[in-house]
Amino acid sequence: MVYHSTFVDDEGITKACGCPLLPLKSHIRGPAPVSDQATTDIIDEAITFFRANVFFKNFDIQSPADKLLIYLTFYINVALKRLEGCRTLAEGTKAVINLGLEDVPVPGESGFPFPGLFPLPGSKQEGDLLRNYLKQIREETSGRLLSVAYRPNGTPNKWWLAFAKRKFINTIAL
């Protein structure tokens, strides 16, 4: 059974292209509301559920937050692919920073991994809002992923990097 997001109540949450702009425990500037450091956010859920959810070929969407969870699971898979050849934390950090500097496509643009997951932007402002949110959430996810993909001594954690070979929902990580 697939693990779903616990953020099912989206009352009062701003949306862009159907994607909820959920609060994040982040120091990175962006459009996401700031969450309390003691609570779990969507990035914590994505990292926690990644190793279980990556095995599934289908994902039954039960809330808009599940769409964001799918996007983050795919992004974690892409990041792990980039970390696969990095033997030290310094190399991994450089690879993930370069991944974070890449353009972030939004629905309707080439390179968006799941066409149809989110509706097309209604305006340029909505598309830019989603792009900035996805950029912020990708940067924050990358930083947190490094702390689990590498041990405290800076060596790779094989129990995480082994999942780079998996294909999530039969989608190949770039």
HEC string of 81-126 equals HHHCCCCCHHHHHHHHHHHHHCCCCCCCCCCCCCECCECCCCCHHH
Residue 52: pLDDT above 80? yes
**Residue among 141, 173, 137, 145 at smallest CA distance from 161:** 145
Token couple for 172: 């190949």
Q: How confident is the model at residue 2 (pLDDT cuts 50, 70, 90)?
A: confident
Q: How confident is the model at residue 22 (pLDDT cuts 50, 70, 90)?
A: very high
Predicted structure pTM score: 0.91
| Residue ranges of domains in the chain, CATH in brackets | 24-165 (1.10.1760.10)
Average pLDDT taken over every residue of the chain: 89
Residue with the bigger pLDDT between 57 and 150: it is: 150
